[in-house]
Amino acid sequence: MPIPGNLLTTAMAVMPHTDPERALEVALSTDVPFWPQLPNYNYHEDMYVQAAEHFPGILLDMEGRTLRFSMDKFIMELEDTLEHFDDPAYFDISPSYSVVYHQFLSMDLSDRPAIRGQLEGPISFGFNIIDQDERPILFDDTVRPFMLEFMTKRINVQLDRLKALNPNAFMFVDEPGLQFLFSAMAGYSDLKAKGDLDLFFSMIERPRGIHLCGNPDWDFLLGLNLDVLSLDIYTNAEIFSSYAPSIKRFLDNDGVIVWGIVPTGFETFEKEGLDSLSAQLENVWRTLSKKGIDRDHMLEKSMLSPATCCLVNPDKEKTVEKAFASVQKLSEILREKYGI
């Protein structure tokens, strides 16, 4: 099923709200809505914790808000987990790990052009979760293959449930850790990562893609077998524009780009307006057009979103809500301008 483009709106799922009903209302204000993740409401709502549900070996400290891994516990729990490998419900997100996911699933969303879900990806999960030796589990040749398969099952189960609501449902695999792959400190080569991610995406149903706010190797990322790429173009405009050949190949292969253009940080948001943001985005499109990318095709395969999530604003959720509203207004302005 096609992912919509034509400058429709969506957003990343992590939101600062402590009122689940209000967060869901804001998420539903986008053209392509999603279920919000609310770590300020409950630590179970942290994106890493949600992904870790039922993962063997996990040490979750709700009071201390820490998430770690024990190999001894992994070995002890692995057999029980494997016995559930053919049980879809086991890999779904339970009500205690998301206050809005099951409410979202109960809604009539059939009239939307699409809907979207998300789960933390294996690279970021594996980097973030530390074992008893203070070592990321991504580096463990025993745990990593299991982790890849475990996460694919979780993503596929969620996508199946969303497709029952709307046939154009798709998934974001959230991968902020991809920007660290190419640092000397990573300890995990890009060749190994490419092989693992190719295997990972081969096991995930379509449509699927990656969301990240950082600055990875864009040739690497655009070369993966993705249907959609969501990025922070507000911060990364100049460097992303320099990868025109890879962007063109991605778009020519029917890929969709979600341009994260409206900042959500309080200070940054206040210094921008719709005119300045549209000018920045159109400058990127103009640069890519000069490098051989057909503008009309690019807009047809484009969506808009806020630039990043933000949990630390002094006004809590107010600026984030303003950013969501600005994305919607910007979409209307640009769609009218380009006759979409």
**128-143 pLDDT, tens digit each:** 999 999 999 999 999 9
Task: Report the 10 Å Cβ neighbour count for 292.
Answer: 10
Q: What is the average pLDDT value for the chain, to the nearest integer?
A: 95
Report the pLDDT value the prediction gives residue 182, as an integer from 0 to 100. Answer: 64
Q: How far does the chain reach from its first CA to its final CA, in angstroms?
A: 21
Report the pLDDT value the prediction gives residue 55, as an integer from 0 to 100. Answer: 98
Per domain, the residue ranges of the chain are 8-337
Residue 165 to residue 106: CA distance in whole angstroms: 9
Measure Cα distances from 273 to 26, 276, 287 in Å: 20, 5, 21
The average pLDDT across 10-24 equals: 97
Enter the pTM of the model.
0.95
Model confidence at 185: pLDDT above 60: no
Comparing C-alpha atoms, which of 29, 93, 25 is closest to residue 55?
Answer: 93
- The DSSP annotation for 243-285 comes to THHHHHHHHHTT-EEEEEEE--SHHHHHT--HHHHHHHHHHHH
* pLDDT tens digits, 43-89: 999 999 999 999 999 999 999 999 999 999 999 999 999 999 999 99
The average pLDDT across 305-333 equals: 97
Backbone phi, psi, residue 291, to 5°: -95, 15
Report the pLDDT value the prediction gives residue 186, as an integer from 0 to 100. Answer: 59
* pLDDT tens digits, 264-293: 999 999 999 999 999 999 999 999 999 999
User: In CATH, what number does 8-337 get?
Assistant: 3.20.20.210
* pLDDT tens digits, 189-237: 777 888 899 999 999 999 999 999 888 889 989 999 999 999 999 999 9
* pLDDT tens digits, 86-118: 999 999 999 999 999 999 999 999 999 999 999
